[in-house]
Copies of this chain bind each other. A is one copy, B any other.
Amino acid sequence: MSDHPQQPRREFLQTTLLTGVAGLAAAQFPSLVDAAERPASSPLIKPGSTILFQGDSITDAGRSRPDAGTPNQKPGMGNGYAWMTAAALLTSPGGDTLTIYNRGISGNKVFQLAERWQAECLDLKPDVLSILIGVNDIWHRLNGKYDGTVETYEKDYRELLRRTKAELPDVRLVICEPFVLRCGAVNDSWFPLFDQFREAAHKLAGEFKTVFVPFQSMFDEAVKYAPPEHWAGDGVHPTAHGAALMASHWIRCVHSAT
């Protein structure tokens, strides 16, 4: 029935790991559409790259602080889009050459990233640095805990990016668009102010020629297919489905970058 030699599982897996999935397929079926070949790497993510995710609770997503120094492993990566993105990259062909960290901290605004930037970004010498920040800069203002404005956000963010490029001139930057869903804690009082925050992030992406991941535009499309609560119950923190969609689009955007 099968023209495959009977291989023990271990040996079969070894073959797969040694030749890579694409290699296995190509070797056994030269005519097979060689669909598995798109690797984890891209013009932006090179083999061996160190990737750092920075941000607030959306990035943090329950990661273990004691495990923060162990890259790639679930405990230190949390449960959110950073982990889901990492998992997809690490399991793609060549992905095991990557070193991926998460240093998001719940509640952070831009100035709080700046306070811990030396130890929690620059010292890690990332080749690719992805930042998602902004929702607390407006949320904490709306609830009276913070007096920063959109001008504060833009100025602080620009200074953080300048400092990063000065210290790590070859770093590839990924700026993620702050986003909210219209449900839970997010009501009309957030608008139009919130749009100014995401426009500021977009503007900085242009100034620093970074990749820009348009999460708000993505979620604006996503609510055509499932209600806002499916993507983020409180309007701010993504569900697993929201995080999965973010991971998919992060990879789409970063892999498209030249």
Which residues of A are in contact with B by a Cβ distance under 8 Å?
A: 1-4, 6-9, 12-13, 16-17, 21, 24-25, 28-29, 31-38, 72-74, 79, 83-84, 86-88, 90-92, 95-96, 150-151, 154-155, 191-192, 195-196, 199-200, 202-203, 205-206, 209-214, 217-218, 220-222, 224-227, 230, 240-241, 243-245, 247-249, 251-258
Q: Which of B35, B88, B196, B252 contacts A38 (CB 8 A)?
A: B252
A38 touches B256 (CB 8 A): yes
Q: Which of B74, B227, B257 contacts A35 (CB 8 A)?
A: B257
A interface: dominant SS: helix
Q: Which of B32, B226, B253 contacts A209 (CB 8 A)?
A: B32
27 contacts between A and B (CB under 8 A): A1-B151, A1-B200, A2-B150, A9-B191, A25-B212, A25-B214, A29-B205, A29-B206, A32-B205, A32-B206, A32-B212, A35-B257, A36-B212, A36-B213, A36-B253, A38-B253, A73-B226, A83-B241, A84-B248, A87-B222, A87-B244, A88-B244, A88-B248, A91-B222, A91-B245, A92-B252, A248-B251
A254 touches B217 (CB 8 A): no
Taking A16-B220, A195-B7, A230-B74 as contacts, is the C-beta distance between A225 and B2 under 8 angstroms?
Answer: no
A256 touches B218 (CB 8 A): no
In the complex, what's the smallest C-beta–C-beta distance from A78 to chain B, in angstroms?
Answer: 11
Q: Which residues of B contact A36 (CB under 8 A)?
A: 212-214, 252-253, 256
In the complex, what's the smallest C-beta–C-beta distance from A214 to chain B, in angstroms?
Answer: 5
Q: Which of B16, B224, B240 contacts A244 (CB 8 A)?
A: B240
A200 nearest CB neighbor, chain B only: B2
Query: With A and B bound together, what is the CA distance between A2 and B202 in angstroms?
Result: 11
A220 nearest CB neighbor, chain B only: B13
A91 touches B221 (CB 8 A): yes
In the complex, what's the smallest C-beta–C-beta distance from A233 to chain B, in angstroms?
Answer: 14
Q: Which of B202, B210, B225, B248 contacts A72 (CB 8 A)?
A: B225
A90 touches B221 (CB 8 A): yes
B205 touches A74 (CB 8 A): no
In the complex, what's the smallest C-beta–C-beta distance from A63 to chain B, in angstroms?
Answer: 13
B12 touches A195 (CB 8 A): yes
A35 touches B2 (CB 8 A): no
